[in-house]
Amino acid sequence: MTTFSCFILACVLVIGIIVTGAEGRPRAFFIFGDSLVDNGNNNYLATTARADAPPYGIDYAPSHRPTGRFCNGYNIPDLISQQLGAESTLPYLSPELRGNRLLVGANFASAGIGILNDTGIQFVNVIRMYRQLELFQEYQSRVSALIGSSQTKSLVNQALVLITVGGNDFVNNYFLVPNSARSRQYPLPQYVKYLISEYQKLLQKLYDLGARRVLVTGTGPLGCVPSELAQRGRNGECAAELQRAAELFNPQLEQMLLQLNRKIGKDVFIAANTGKMHNNFVSNPQQFGFITAKVACCGQGPYNGLGLCTPLSNLCSNRGQYAFWDAFHPSEKANRLIVEEIMSGSRAYMNPMNLSTILALDAITT
């Protein structure tokens, strides 16, 4: 281990002491995006995009009950919160999010949404990205009433932010139906460029609202999820057009983030190549302890990829051996492996740096 590595490790070990609020709180954590990171906002909305019935949450400790997370257990925000030494953030719409619990942060994510406002229109009443950012402003007003505007600004500036959005702009928009409105408007490469330009506006707004450390995840292997294998795949092969979409989107997203950082003059935005992480499971599931990365644990039809996960669905008993929990979403085991890479992955996965390095550097400068 190099001297610099030892220095970084030492900083990480004292992170809980140094990068905390005035009262010794872990840094706040804010989450934006879609069902991959929603932890229950849609429970409070009149929408079909919900995960509030069994067997969702079957492994969620300690209740083993559905919470609104699209997973059998913990999702990526939960696992990052654990790394921060903090409790999981509450959904912003939860009535429990009040008083000092606001200082932990908040989750604004909503299943079904995308970068574009017309993504997921079939889910009707969901919190689209522009509205998530409005709620973030509202959150800051609520916290200002609690601790004052100066302390609120510090809390937000020192917070960690995670944003996961983009997959639905393909699955629940461009490729939702043959000859969709967006596919008639744009060839796929131009659509990806349009998405990236719209995403940049959202990220700039997030920065303007005070975010200074933002993890931005790419899309997963869109054509290889059980739903697409069931509906579009041929002989168990990933759906080529959706894979092409992910292969176009993820590198352009990473380049856009690096350009934003150069414009700002600081490494605000961190590209988390979760697509590459998940592709590792797909190409070699056994290496990661999975028996399959094609069949969902919960579902029905080919690859358990048709329809929703419900109490009547097929349900695997060995959930830690499945990369996918349902037709679209990773299992808790897969989420844990992804967060391991977020924490300590090389620049191929985390550009320009991983979360452990971020925490160490912030410990030095705070």
Which of 138, 136, 125, 107 lies closest to 36, judged by CA? 107
Catalytic residue, from 110, 278, 329, 362: name it: 329
Tokens standing for residue 298: 């919960």
Tokens standing for residue 227: 């739903």
Which of 98, 216, 121 lies closest to 168, judged by CA? 121
Examine the residue annotation and report whether 329 is marked as an active-site residue of this protein: yes
Cα 342 to Cα 54, 80, 276, 355: the distances in Å are: 29, 9, 12, 6
In the chain the first and final C-alpha atoms are separated, in Å, by 26
Strand partners, 216: 163, 271
Examine the residue annotation and report whether 35 is marked as an active-site residue of this protein: yes
Q: Using CA atoms, how far apart are residues 31 and 102, in angstroms rounded to an integer?
A: 13
Catalytic residue, from 88, 326, 331, 356: name it: 326
Examine the residue annotation and report whether 154 is marked as an active-site residue of this protein: no
DSSP annotation of 57: T
Handedness of CA 68, 70, 71, 76 (dihedral sign): negative
Taken as a whole, the chain contains a residue count of 366
Cα 175 to Cα 169, 221, 272, 302, 355: the distances in Å are: 8, 15, 24, 20, 33
Find out whether 109 and 37 touch, Cβ atoms under 8 Å.
yes
Side chain identity at residue 41, one-letter code: N
Q: Which residue has 């707004």 as its token pair?
A: 205
Q: Which residues are known to be catalytic? A: 35, 326, 329
